[in-house]
Structure 1
Amino acid sequence: MADLQDELRAAVEMGGLDRPDRQPVKEPEFVTDAGGEAPEVNGDVLRRTHALLAAHPVADGYNGLPQALRQLPWYDLELGEGAIDTDVPRLREGRVGAMFWSLRLPEGLAEEQAVGATLDLLDLVQTVVREYPESLRMAYNAAQTIDARNCGRVAVLLGPAEAGALGDSLGILRALHALGLRVLTLTGTSWAGGGNGLTRFGEEVVREMNRIGVLADLSGACDPTVRRVLTVSRAPVLCTRSAARALRPHPANLPDDLLTRLGATKGLCLVPLTAEQTGPSVRDVADHLDHVRALAGPECVGLSGTYDSGAAHPQDLPDASGYPHLIAELLHRGWSEPDLSLLTWGNVQRVLRAADFTAKAAQQRRGPSTASIAQLDG
């Protein structure tokens, strides 16, 4: 198999990233808005889209592939796998350079099984990446993510995992981090899932996450928990699957005041490409991105494909190959190329770097926490 770095270099020189054995991405079609200016020539939009994504590929904030692969008796991500939304050909077509692979657990799993099930998923991710060394590469920080991209591989980052995977133990948190975990969703536990926000032990979990470099994911958390984590955390937080509640009243979407607060704390809202949360069309997704950018700022918005999570997706965004359609729509709306480069790649890199910087500073001030939930919440 040819080295992906050679394929990437050749594609950029030719003005695109399409594989010779696949059809190019369908050129976006735009309709002139009534009373508005005529859109750019389609060919120019497509050229600019390809050039931008060649330099600044998509860092996808949430992908459910690990759990999806567990349901398949056999798969081949390199040749293409029709039973799932994500495979190597579609990642190349979608110009994806990095992905967070979710360690989300099946519904109804008993609490005492959560730790072992999370370890099984973590092992599966490591195994899958080893099976495709010419296409995928594990990454644990911003520098390794960039190295993977420069070598023509898709960087795979571990997380988010569910808070239940800790078993209410800070020692397990540290063990999962040592195995590669980089994002933890703060929902579904007694210390992070109640309507009153974080408990004292929950606050200690956040401090320990800051100390070791695990990012907090607040998607699906109740509003009091979101507000308290934004106060306690010294590292930026993520919302890996949150859009604008003002445009679509989904419980995982954020109200305007929290979007503004997220921007003020330099967090990152990764807007999901799902019909339920953002709407049935590319234009609906773009509306949410416009709204989040206006409130939180261009440096605080990103993309979350949410593929292979069981969710339905908007038209023209059915799988990981569809990102060029969305970027073309945003170019048509007047997004600048610097803002788009932050959306696709730069903002995720900033948050990863900030997590490492915060961890190094915290480790100079304090050692590993020995607190327990019985001590703080008992």
Structure 2
Amino acid sequence: MKDGIDRKNPHCLGIQTLQIQNRHIICNANFMRILIVEDDQLSAQALQHLLTSYSYAPDIARRGHEGLDLLAAFAYDLVILDLQLPDQDGISLCKALRAQGYTMPVMLLTGTDQVDQKAAALNAGADDYVVKPFHSQELIARVLALLRRGQAAGNPWLSWGALQLDPSCRRVTYDHCELTLTPKEYAVLELLLRHGEQVFSAQAILDQVWAVPEPPMEETVRTHIKRLRQKLRLAGAPANLIETVCRVGYRLNPSMRDESSPSPGFLRDPSAALPGARAAGVSLVPAVCVLVVTDEPGQIKQIQSLSLPPQLEVVGLGDLTQLWPSLITHQPDLLIVGDGDRSGPHLCKAVRSLPRWQTIPILVLLPHKTPAAVQKIFAAGASDILTLPLVGPELVARIVAHVA
């Protein structure tokens, strides 16, 4: 026992068990780990069940100091904090996390929708702020956006021949044909893609994907493999893309790894034609640039009038056809899309399809916030949303949080 933590190692392919104050937490080492710091048992369990159903590996801490203990023991991809905790408030805990050097995205949950509180949370280092009660679709969409934001820069795609998987939006395609997978089918396929030619037994897949104290039988794995093969064949994949190694387990067929993978069928980045634009002095870029894309001049003026740091410049763009030249010229650090309910999804998808702009934060302004609209915007690649009308302090806090 050290610092109140008793670590146990069952030696089973990436599964780690942590015992804190007689509570067991099972963590899957190969999937996204999420820490929930929530003292209300029903709320915490509901969140855990929701996240588990999407193949995440959530852990629960009831107190702020328990959350810090877990963060010291494991690497988490996202932290979800309740604003009101028994030993300290969520904003103070968020400040403590940032002061200790933790950089993973942080989502704050609260029962109040006060602008000053939102601004305080964002200024403390939180990446998002969700008001209870919330719709499960919206929460998952926000979780996906935060995890995408927290990923390191670079190509997020996992590929094996013509098979491609994008973890940032959980999209799977074979030769440009998109597959519709259940959460567990997706998790099995992601496991195989992440580990190349490694062979996984049915029991190992249960340990990796289900990650619960009492997983189902091995027949469940065989059923999921069968369904995956059927869906892949319908998309045009060979029947043996997922290969059975006799008496051992399953893997992706090594002979199909080096086949030419078609590049995603997205728009071509016009900046590729101007590789020396910045070096040739085409543009003078400020320290921090925010590009606002909207056909409403009033929104641009309102954002430009905000009390923003002096090194931050707001550039307005009213003509969507000039988006690519503007991205090349200004090299923005943040993109704000004003007409989120109309061109927002299309614009987000187009920008995210280009490797050069896959990691730029995109803040979308929505006139009306519905679960379906929020899910659609986040699924398209947005990093954050705000509901109109704009409120100065919250908008400033979100802009600064994205470009800091």
TM-score, normalised to structure 2, is: 0.29
- Structure in which a larger fraction of residues adopt helix: 1
- Structure in which a larger fraction of residues adopt strand: 2
More relative contact order, 1 or 2 (CA 8 Å, 6+ apart): 1
Larger Rg: 2
TM-score, normalised to structure 1, is: 0.30
